[in-house]
Chain A
Amino acid sequence: MSAPRFALGATVRIAERTPPVHHRVPSYAKGQVGRIVRVCHEHGLPEAYIRGDGRPFQRLYRVRLDQKALWRDYAGAAGDTLDIEIFEPWLEPAE
């Protein structure tokens, strides 16, 4: 177990990349900036399972995104949000 790189409340950017293997970051979330709302446990990284057992396990986070920033034509209220699970290698610090 390694210490989480990001703390609760940290602002992060979800990486914008498309590895040519199975991964679990939906395209709508790539490149988006959000904040950490839950530091989860370490789990096998989906793209690492193609080599075997997914190790080394990676820290998982819940990241909160603002709907108005996510969808240009979002028709809901300004405060609406979306929470998504993202592994640490997909996150970078952001302003």
Chain B
Amino acid sequence: MTSDHPHDPGHDHDHARTFQPDLSEPTSDAALIGVALRRLMIERGVYSAEEERATIERMAGANPGNGARIVARAWSDPAFKERLLADGAEAIKELGYDLSPLEFTVLENTDRLHNVVVCTLCSCYPRALLGQSPAWYKSKNYRARVVREPRAVLAEFGVALADDVEVRVHDSTAELRYMILPQRPAGTEGLDEADLAALVTRDSLIGTQRDLTPKDPAAR
């Protein structure tokens, strides 16, 4: 496409393809109530627009890397792991994370146990720590099925489990937020915490992935 032609019909570039979609204007009652409520809160000084902006930016900055960092610390430091499993909310304060008053709860996978998290009633997720949940986590399909046929759902994610591995589903119905502590992959003995954290995926923190793969040393 050239940019120096006179702007007349008949030229060959496609405006439809370069057009950026705008944010849609709120039209539903629910959306309009949201707009009005926000305006009122700011007008009444409950919070300021700047505080709202900063909060959104902080929430948007949360990502699974935070969870990976916690997992890598637990793999490297048995005493931290013990504190993490006993009281996750307190333990992650050591790394500078605070989710209170939510009770952050870490569940450990073992050779005989696989944990997976769901919120059947809505989409509870430790968002302030791990960022936005994946779209499938919020889907009715996942929420309805993973409680009653977890092995079938896990198989669709590529997790095949023998019958002697217990599957434990955690339904996040109230004030707890969950993260899985996946198993440390074999062959990672020499890795430091930063390299270990790089092995941890978002889905392994939810439980829809079980086996983590050490990166090929030649590729590093």
Question: Does B173 touch A at the CB level, under 8 Å?
Answer: yes
Query: In the complex, what residues of A have CB within 8 A of residue B175's CB?
Result: 40-41, 43, 60, 85
User: Does A24 contact B169, Cβ atoms closer than 8 Å?
Assistant: no
**Which among A62, A67, A71, A81 is the interface contact of B176 at CB below 8 angstroms?**
A62
What residues of A have a CB within 8 angstroms of the CB of B167 in the complex? 67, 76-77, 80-81
Determine if B148 is an interface residue (Cβ-Cβ < 8 Å): yes
- The answer, yes or no, to whether B147 is at the interface (CB within 8 Å) is yes
Q: Which among B164, B167, B171 has the highest number of chain A CB atoms within 10 Å?
A: B171
**Cβ proximity bits B159-175 to A, threshold 8 Å, 1 near / 0 not:** 00001111111111111
Q: A39: shortest Cβ distance to chain B, in Å?
A: 11
**Using Cβ atoms and an 8 Å threshold, which residues of chain B touch A87?**
174
Which of A60, A75, A79, A81 has a CB less than 8 Å from the CB of B174? A60
- Is A46 at the interface (CB under 8 A from chain B)? yes
Number of interface residues of B (CB under 8 A): 25
- Check B43 for interface membership: any CB of A closer than 8 A: no
Q: Chain B contacts of A70 at CB under 8 A?
A: 148
In the bound complex, do residue B171 and residue A84 qualify as a contact, i.e. CB atoms below 8 Å apart? Answer: yes
A29 → B minimal CB distance (Å): 8
Give the residue name and chain of the B residue nearest to A45 (CB): B174
Q: Is B147's CB under 8 angstroms from A28's CB?
A: yes
Q: Please name 26 pairs of A and B residues whose Cβ atoms are closer than 8 Å in the assembled complex, sorted by A.
A: A24-B121, A26-B173, A28-B120, A28-B147, A29-B171, A40-B103, A40-B176, A60-B174, A67-B148, A67-B169, A70-B148, A75-B151, A77-B163, A77-B165, A77-B166, A80-B150, A81-B166, A81-B167, A81-B168, A83-B169, A83-B170, A83-B171, A84-B173, A85-B173, A85-B175, A86-B174
